[in-house]
Amino acid sequence: MANRPSAKRWLPLEANPDVMNQFIWGLGVAPHEAECFDVYGLDEELLEMVPKPVLAVLFLYPLTSQSEKERIQQDKEIKEPPAGVYFTKQTVGNACGTIGLLHAIGNITSEIKLVEGSYLDKFFKATANMDPSQRAAFLENDNEMEVAHSIAATAGDTEASDNVDTHFISFTCVNGQLYELDGRKAGPISHGASSTSTLLQDAAKVIQKFIEKNPDSINFNVIAISKKT
């Protein structure tokens, strides 16, 4: 089903682990369960510095005419989301940071415990049997999430502006496969076999290909969501 972009626009989230931690902890991810960390580079030595195990990866990259052409082409090839993969479309402008976090957390609920009765606990239970378009509509009309997003968007180190040309996506491992989850695309994209122990390295290889297509840009950022042990 094609999605109608909403007239609603939020302020974008800053690619800042501190901001994202306060956001997800406030919504129901217990601080002792998971935490966001900066990934300072994609070479093996810097990847090894990231606390393990890594459960999901958020990636911010610049939107270009080339990336938009590739998205349109990919949409022609994407099928329905595979069983067990939590995926939602994005209809709210600039909501990609929140969508990325929902994709990340929605696919690791078997690995972390959400606070019972919290926003995220209720959200994932309410949307569990919805299709991606229904989930997008649910989120679009969810005032509690809009308020939480707004608070997080204004908590960063830089002044929030709704005029941005960057986009968040996430990577998670579901049923032994690495999935790229982008709410602007028709569905998840599989990038082959992966596991909790190799997720960060596997995602880094895909991310490196994004960067190679736009080597002059500095508007890339990688954040890992790691399980606290």
Q: Catalogue the active-site residues.
A: 96, 167
Longest dimension (CA), the chain: 46
Half-sphere exposure for 215 (CA within 13 Å, toward CB): 1
- Peptide bond between residue 132 and the one before it cis (omega within 30 degrees of 0): no
Of 61, 94, 102, 70, which is closest to residue 208 (Cα–Cα)?
Answer: 61
Reported in sequence order, the residue ranges of the chain that DSSP labels E, i.e. its strands, are: 34-39, 54-62, 166-174, 177-181, 189-193, 221-227
Q: Is 173 exposed, middle or buried (0-12, 13-18, 19+ CB in 10 A)?
A: buried
C-alpha 219/C-alpha 123 separation (Å) is 31
C-alpha 5/C-alpha 83 separation (Å) is 26
Residues 6+ apart with CB under 8 A from 195: 173, 176
C-alpha 108/C-alpha 224 separation (Å) is 13
Tokens at 65, concatenated: 């005419």
